[in-house]
Amino acid sequence: MKKLYSFIILLVFLSVYDMSAQNKQNKYYKPIRFSIDGFTKIPITSSENFDYNVGYGGNFGMVYTLNKIASLELSLKSGYTLLNNSKMKPSSALIPVSVGVDFYFFDKDFSPFVGLHPGINFIDNSIETSIVGEIGASYKQMKIYAGYEYMEIGSLIKIGFGYFFRQRPCGCFPFVE
């Protein structure tokens, strides 16, 4: 798992320099934007330490668009998830922190995307690493998505809705020489 995290971070940092130089040529381009998400999580595998029926919560994040055609984005997100159990066990709080890479298939108002979000989760006074694969679609400042979150203690399906405080930048404006 550590090798995968290292590989993803290496790819992102190698790409950033070249792509940021291209972005600076476009005076209309604003690569940083913020997002807020609401979601539900449905556990599909459990263990003795991770036995929940449903979770719900939200994330706040910062998104940076890496390339001039607005197809590759890097995000940093954190939030709060409340995990409930129908048994007499108390609910637990899950606090995720993740770095993500999303690939948008085309630079239009409506665009489907796929993403990979490795991170850590603080749950019940312990730290669990996780990796989330997401698929979804964005339309202007909104997005809807579904994902699979893998942790060693249990896996979850995530379904969510998000709002960006600014529309995804577009590479369609003329370049400034």
The type of residue at 129 is T
> CB-based burial of residue 22 (10 Å sphere; 0-12 exposed, 13-18 middle, 19+ buried)?
middle
- Nearest in space to 156 (alpha carbons), one of 78, 34, 57, 73: 57
Give the domains, in start order, of the chain with CATH numbers: 2-164 (2.40.160.20)
Q: How far apart are CA 12 and CA 74, in angstroms?
A: 8
Who's near 150: CB < 8 A, 6+ residues apart? 130, 131, 132
Q: How far apart are CA 114 and CA 44, in angstroms?
A: 21
Note the pLDDT tens digit of each residue in 56-83.
Answer: 999 999 998 877 666 888 999 999 999 8
The whole-number mean pLDDT for each consecutive block of 10 residues of the chain, a chain of 177 residues, reads: 70 57 55 91 82 90 80 92 80 90 85 94 89 93 94 91 82 47
pLDDT at 137: 94
Q: How far apart are CA 2 and CA 23, in angstroms?
A: 31
pLDDT at 167: 76
Q: How far apart are CA 156 and CA 42, in angstroms?
A: 5
Q: How far apart are CA 133 and CA 100, in angstroms?
A: 9
